[in-house]
Structure formats: C-alpha cells, structure tokens
Amino acid sequence: MSADPQVPLRADARRNRDQIIAAARSIFSDFGPEVPMEEIARAAGVGVGTLYRRFPDRDALIRAVAVDNFARVLDDARQAAEQEPTAWLALVRLLHQSVELHLSVQLAMLSKKAHEILKEDPAIASLRDELLVELEAMVRGAQREGTLRPDVAEGDVALLFALLLRQLESRSPEVTRLSTERSIAIMIDGLKAQPGTPLPGRPLSRHDIH
C-alpha cells in the first residue's frame, strides 16, 4: 500500500515513515504542498531530522504520499470491479468512494509544481496507468451494458472525477457532504445513456491524459 521498501526497515523506523506519510497526506490535503517541512514533522511527532532521513527532500515526500494514495485508490477500484454486479455500479461506487482519490488528484493536478514532480516519477506513472486500465474496463463494460453513454471514454470519466475531487473547502461540513453527493448525482445523470446533448469533440482516452 505504501512504496519503495528497498530494505525491510526496522519496526520503529517503519512506524515513523508511516506516521510521516499520514501527517503529510492530511496536511497537504488541507493546506497544499507548500507547508513548512517542520510543520509536517511536528504533526508526525518526529524531528525534522528524522523526516529528512526518510525523505531526502520535499519532492520525495510528495512522491511518496502520491504513491501511497494512488495505491489505495487502485485497491478501491479493483475491489469495486470485483464486488459489484455491473460495471456501471462499480463506476458509481468508485465515484462515491472518491474521497480517497481526493488527495491523489489534488497533488497530481492542483499545483503546477506538484504536477511536474509527479509526472517524472515512474512508480506513479505505472500506478496511474493501472488505474486507468481498470477504469477503461469499467467504462467499456458499462457501455456494453447500455447504461453509460457511448460517446465517452475513460479519459472523460477520469477528468470528471478529477474536477469533483477538488473538494470544496471551507463551508459547513454538512453542506460540503451534501454538495459533493449532489454534484456526483448530477454528473452521473449526465453520464447516463440517454438522448441528451451530443458531446463536442471526441471521446478522451487515457492516452490523452499525460
């Protein structure tokens, strides 16, 4: 679920590493990827020195958090595919579980800088590809089932996700939850196979997303 385990790592070191990633995930997600390293260290309950021993610089930490997150989402996607009776339902479930996706996307797309960092990383590239393959299967499946409009591809869906997942901060939790749910529902309605407006352009595939 995390990554790059090289050498097994002693138990306490392991624990530190996990605490750091957890702290970083939460802080990045709340304040963006520019927070002082010391802040993250404090939140993780370790000294900066320890943080730097584990992650040589900020970029490495960002990468590690992203890898961890993509891995979680990939897990989710696979479980959904396996457990849901139809591809459409798997897709819908994934959309609703998307809170997890949140950070990945945030990191991947929010700040230009973070994106530069992540798009270099092969570990991330490969996870992202696996995720898109999974998504492609769902999309094709749901189209075969006749439930998903035929003029979209996995790229469209991924990008729609991406939009969604930029959680809207800073209003009451109740409204946040409600608004997320309702936005998802509206989007899902827009995705349903139905007359509707013909979409402009061409279906966006996973190859359109760098």
Choosing from 5, 6, 30, 57, the residue that interacts with DNA (CB under 7 A) is: 57
Binding mask 130-159 for DNA (x = CB under 7 A): ------------------------------
Count of alpha carbons within 13 angstroms of residue 52, beta-carbon side: 8
* CA–CA distances in Å: residue 52 to residues 23, 44, 58, 69: 14, 13, 9, 21
Q: Which does 99 bind (CB under 5 to 8 A by kind): DNA, its own copies, none?
A: none
Choosing from 47, 146, 150, 196, the residue that interacts with its own copies (CB under 8 A) is: 196
Q: How far apart are alpha carbons 138 and 68 in whole angstroms?
A: 23
Residues in contact with its own copies, counted by CB under 8 A, come to a total of 51
Q: What is the token pair recorded at 27?
A: 């802080």
Contact 186, 180 (CB under 8 A): no
User: Which residues have a Cβ under 8 Å from the Cβ of 46 and sit 6 or more positions away?
Assistant: 16, 19, 20
Contact between 162 and its own copies by CB under 8 A: the answer reads yes
Of 120 and 181, the one with the shorter C-beta distance to DNA is: 120
Q: What is the DSSP letter of 150?
A: T
User: Nearest approach, Cβ of 2 to its own copies (angstroms)?
Assistant: 25
User: Nearest approach, Cβ of 49 to DNA (angstroms)?
Assistant: 2
Contact between 22 and DNA by CB under 7 A: the answer reads no
Choosing from 9, 15, 34, 129, the residue that interacts with its own copies (CB under 8 A) is: 34
Contact between 187 and DNA by CB under 7 A: the answer reads no
Of 33 and 67, the one with the shorter C-beta distance to its own copies is: 33
Contact between 129 and its own copies by CB under 8 A: the answer reads no
Dihedral angle of Cα 187, 191, 196, 202, to the nearest 10 degrees: 110
Contact between 129 and DNA by CB under 7 A: the answer reads no
Handedness of CA 157, 73, 25, 116 (dihedral sign): negative
Q: How far apart are alpha carbons 181 and 4 in whole angstroms?
A: 35
Contact between 36 and DNA by CB under 7 A: the answer reads yes
Contact between 207 and DNA by CB under 7 A: the answer reads no
- List residues near DNA by CB under 7 A: 9-13, 15-16, 34-38, 46-50, 52-54, 56-58
